[in-house]
Amino acid sequence: FGSHNLRSLAYAIAAASAAGIPDEGYELQLLYGMAEPVHEAVRRMGRRLRVYAPMGELVPGMAYLVRRLLENTSNESFVRHRFAEGQDLDDLLARPGRRSARGRRGRQRVRHRGRRRGAVTQRAPARGGVRVGAGRAPSYVPAPLAEWHSAGTREEMARAVEATGRSLGRVVPARIAGHDVQTDRRIFSVDPADPSRIVATSACCGASELRRAVAAAVEAFPGWSRRPMRERAEVLFGAARHLRERRFEAAALQVFEAGKAWSEADADVCEAIDYLEYYGRQALLVGGGGTVQSPPGEVNRLSYRGRGVAAVIAPWNFPLAIPTGMTAAALASGNTVVLKPAEQTPAIALMLADALREGGLPPGALSFLPGIGEEIGEALATHPAVATVVFTGSKAVGLRLNELGSHVGPAQREVRRVFAEMGGKNALVVDSDADLDVAVPAAVQSAFGFAGQRCSAASRIVVLASVHDAFVERFVEAARSLRIGPPREMGTEMGPVIDEEAVKRLRRWQERAPEFGAVLLAREDLPERGYFVGPTIVAGVGQTSEMATTEIFGPIVVVMRAPSFETAIEMANSTDYALTAGLISRSPSHIRFASEELRAGNVYINRTITGAVVGRQPFGGHGMSGFGQKAGGPDYLFQFVEPHVVTENTLRQGFAPEWLTGA
């Protein structure tokens, strides 16, 4: 039997014993120099062992060796799980699918549903009707991304894009206490790839609408907060079903209003669905209360209650996912919400309000309030009835809202909480032994995906000196080959930035780039129409320079040379931000070091540093990147609740019947 898989070897020995074959009646074969502890174990057992070495041509031989190497060094290896990760031996030896309770913890069962309309493979996670025991919730599985290799998927998305393109010019009202509201002022959202096309005309709310919206939220709070957690979770699950049924419609709208390429638009819709499903399940856990001690003669109960009205101030770069996450968490926790969408993407945000209404959310529990951020954003943060402010956007605005929210007014009955995710200046470190076939695509996607308009985007590439030149050459050519164009075309890899203001800001940085280093790439082969800015790569930038420390929020990247790995980590940590960071390396010791020392809320190894998935990579940073618990993680809902403890003395004499007390 020739294998380095311990389970296979053990099975062979057991099968031989069961068949009555003597120990000397068969032999085990292992490669010379590989898995020496296994060699020693076989010898200790007294089994026949043949140690061999392959002979022949180099390339087939290398492939053979790699195959054998992976048997015991892959991430799924028995040996890795037993010795590197310390998993229980009984669980690892159990038949697959029959793990012990401890072994099952943290694992997820995936249940498949057939292709919807021949397009996207869907997984149907359990929803509200599932029985939930104490401390348990139905399993959660993230929505799978669209499979663009499928002709059916491409055709369905193409039809949605075409239909949306024909229906531009929709009207987006405000929504207060369940009623659609129009205003005298208007906000126009346009297609960033063709600003002459108006995507939507939305209401533009002011002080009057804000007061009415908050008043409606205050009135709805007692009824909504007293609903059982399961009922609130059911609303989220219903909203998820609504969005799932309109998946490509929602993605197509993002193509036009946010300028997202097909894959990015689809991923945003999937993330919105994930937030609804995940926070619905987390609400069921929170609804079970906390664990506290109850000594004899006393019963203690710890429960969690919503804080009141939550103001959600949303960004434009993830126009459905981020407002969905913030709003769903607040609602699931028993709060009512006033949602202020980004001025650039009100039509997309309205789809969230519609989905929640279809899911059964009562009128008043959510008010939808499009308007100018400088006007109603700050007014929401200082309203005495607002108990919680949740914001995603720039550092300047986040810090301003935190400052305003900390003030206590005379009519205020709650100490207001403010949570903000504020961006980053994220670094990707390329080690001296990095596989450039991994490093270059990861850097390109991290830096230029959605034109660099992600708070998690890589804007600094720190490269070890020994591979610097080879990496830079390939990185520049890969960025040069990106297909730039209107996102409505399927093949587009990089679309426009969001608006004219962004174009002007990025152009100023491009003009100043020679002050900081050598401009290796500044593409100008751009569409004539639209808010397009080409990928820009600047090398030799000093780590403390303005260009290396200021968040630019666009497709402009600096490359820095590091003389040693330790210095590279120091360079990566040299800004005030701490959101995401990454490492491309094949060195286990360097991976361990970077995992501990990189200053970031999310550290990614040998992959892109964007694309966190709800429930898998809880997202959020520290430093000047934000404050509050990580979105899409198990702690996020606790920001929106107040703990409530009831202590009852049970050592009493007799009982008073209900008829006597008038109950």
Residue among 414, 421, 493, 570 flagged as catalytic:
421
Closest CA to 268 of 355, 375, 145, 181: 145
CA 126 to chain centroid, in Å, comes to 21
User: 585: helix, coil or strand?
Assistant: coil
Q: Is 424 helix (H, G, I), strand (E, B) or coil?
A: coil
Other C-beta atoms closer than 10 Å to the C-beta of 97 total 7
Q: What is the dihedral of CA 466, 470, 472, 478, to 10 degrees?
A: -150
Q: Is the dihedral of CA 130, 133, 134, 137 positive or negative?
A: negative
Going from the C-alpha of 248 to that of each of 92, 118, 266, 399, 536, the distances in angstroms are 41, 13, 7, 36, 32
b/e map of 605-644 (b: 16 or more CB within 10 Å)?
Answer: bbebbbbbbbbebbbbbebbbbbbbbbbbeebbbbbbeee
Beta strands in 447-597 (DSSP E): 458-464, 518-522, 536-539, 556-562, 577-578, 580-584
What's the length of the chain?
663
Cα(99)–Cα(110) distance, integer angstroms: 16
- Of 204, 205, 270, 455, which is the active-site residue? 455
Mark whether 455 is an active-site residue.
yes
Separation CA 253–CA 197 (nearest Å): 13
Q: Which amino acid, 222?
A: P
User: How far is 341 from 371, CA to CA, in rounded Å?
Assistant: 8
Helix/strand/coil for 273:
helix
For the chain, the distance separating the N- and C-terminal CA atoms, rounded to the nearest angstrom, is 77
Indicate if 658 belongs to the active site: no
Catalytic annotation, residues: 421, 455
